Every structure is written in C-alpha cells, then in structure tokens.
Chain A
Amino acid sequence: DAGITQSPRHKVTETGTPVTLRCHQTENHRYMYWYRQDPGHGLRLIHYSYGVKDTDKGEVSDGYSVSRSKTEDFLLTLESATSSQTSVYFCAISTGQGKGQPQHFGDGTRLSIL
C-alpha cells in the first residue's frame, strides 16, 4: 500500500453541478496522476502533477481542472459535470526519483452524473 487515499469513494450528482475529487498521499512523492477508467478504454490520463503548483494535461483533459497546493494533495475538479464524465476515477503516484518509476493506484472513486 503506497499510502494513497481517494475521497469520496462514491458520488452521485446532477448534470451541471461542480464536483471535486481528492487524492491524498502520505509519503511525499513528487508525481501524482488522475485517470479515468471506462469499459473498452482502459486507463486514460486526465492530468498529472510533477510538483506543487506544477501540472500538465493528459489525453482527456477537457472539462477537468486540477490543483496541487501541497505535496500531499492533488485535487480534480469537474467545473460543470456532464453525463459523459460518469466514470471510475483513479489517482496514482509514481514512487522513486526520476523517470521510469512504478505507479501505485488509489482505490478509486465511482462517480455517477445523472
């Protein structure tokens, strides 16, 4: 267990409402990632962070924003949720230093947009 906590674990909300998902880590790792997982698409990167206030877009970033004001927390925000954003969201951290280090995932957040 790499000390990753995602909250909430489940959420149901309505179209047009803002939603924020939180990823918290306890081991001071530099790199943090948000993925969404949908049937037939595997894991797709939304955004990632390589340090406090340093973030970059992934392959499916439209409609999502992120913030990292502290090393331990990486927040994913859906400013105005749409039904197409119904998915399972996983946070991951990359352990070690430099490139090519193992990623470890949180337990996921199941988000339903009605």
Chain B
Amino acid sequence: GENVEQHPSTLSVQEGDSAVIKCTYSDSASNYFPWYKQELGKRPQLIIDIRSNVGEKKDQRIAVTLNKTAKHFSLHITETQPEDSAVYFCAALDSGTYKYIFGTGTRLKVLA
C-alpha cells in the first residue's frame, strides 16, 4: 500500500519569504495528491491538489509541483503572511483503493 513521508515537521519563515514543504510517496501508480491546511482547533481544509498528468499547478501564492520519477511532490507558498501559519498536510491516493494516505504534517510559523 501507499506510504507518505512529509518534511520538515516544523518550519519557521519571516513574513514575505517563501516556504516549501516536501512529501515523498511509495506507490508509483498513485495519481492524485491533495494538500490541506489546518488551523488550530479547526478541520483540515483543501487548499490545492494535483494529478499525475500535470507537473505543476498554481493558485495565487500557492503552487504544487510533482516529480513522478522521484515520487515526490512539494507545496510552495510565496510572500508568506502571518495568516499562513498553520499545520499543512500532504496526502496521496492509494492506487488500488479509495484510501487517502496522509503525511504527518508540517507546522508552519510565519514570523512578523
């Protein structure tokens, strides 16, 4: 089955700088990779996703890149703002089932 590793576990950046979070997956047949943002005490919320037929996807200050050969995908946040502070989770869809396997999360702190 699918296994997802996420790094780093914590990340501190200055306001205005960029942040990058990386995930690796094990199932080469996986084809869907969502990213979630979770604020303290709240539910995870989908912020962006990418499918295996695309190498990059952008939505304003957020972008996701996918490297199928290396089996990793990354979340890029540019011009970070204090409201970007949260825990971010990556996930991958197991190709043989309808199960989503999540990474263990990255706590991002944006310092003003």
Chain B, 89-112, CB within 8 A of any chain A CB: 89, 91, 93, 97-105
**Which residue of B is nearest A35, CB measured?**
B102
The reply to whether B105 and A94 form a contact with Cβ atoms under 8 Å apart is no
Q: Is B43 an interface residue (CB 8 A)?
A: yes
Q: Is B46 an interface residue (CB 8 A)?
A: yes
Assembly CA distance A112 to B105 (angstroms): 23
Residues on A with C-beta less than 8 A from B42 are 107
Interface size on A, residues (CB 8 A): 26
Minimum distance in angstroms from B9 CB to a CB of chain A: 8
Given contacts A33-B100, A42-B89, A56-B97, contact A100 B43 (CB under 8 A): no
Within 8 Å by CB of B93, from A41, A42, A58, A99, lies A99
Interface of A is mostly: strand
Residues on A with C-beta less than 8 A from B102 are 35, 42-44
0/1 interface trace, chain A 40-68, chain B, CB 8 Å (1 if under): 11111100101000001011000000000
**Which residue of B is nearest A41, CB measured?**
B104
Given contacts A99-B32, A99-B93, A105-B45, contact A31 B103 (CB under 8 A): no
Interface of B is mostly: strand
**Which residue of B is nearest A31, CB measured?**
B98
Within 8 Å by CB of B89, from A43, A45, A94, A100, lies A43
0/1 interface trace, chain A 72-114, chain B, CB 8 Å (1 if under): 0000000000000000001000100001111111111000000
Assembly CA distance A100 to B99 (angstroms): 10
| 4 interchain residue pairs of minimum CB distance | A100-B32, A42-B104, A105-B43, A43-B102
Identify 17 residue pairs between A and B in the complex whose beta-carbon atoms are under 8 Å apart, listed by A's number: A33-B100, A42-B89, A42-B104, A42-B105, A43-B91, A48-B98, A50-B98, A56-B99, A99-B93, A100-B32, A100-B93, A103-B46, A103-B100, A105-B43, A106-B43, A107-B42, A108-B43
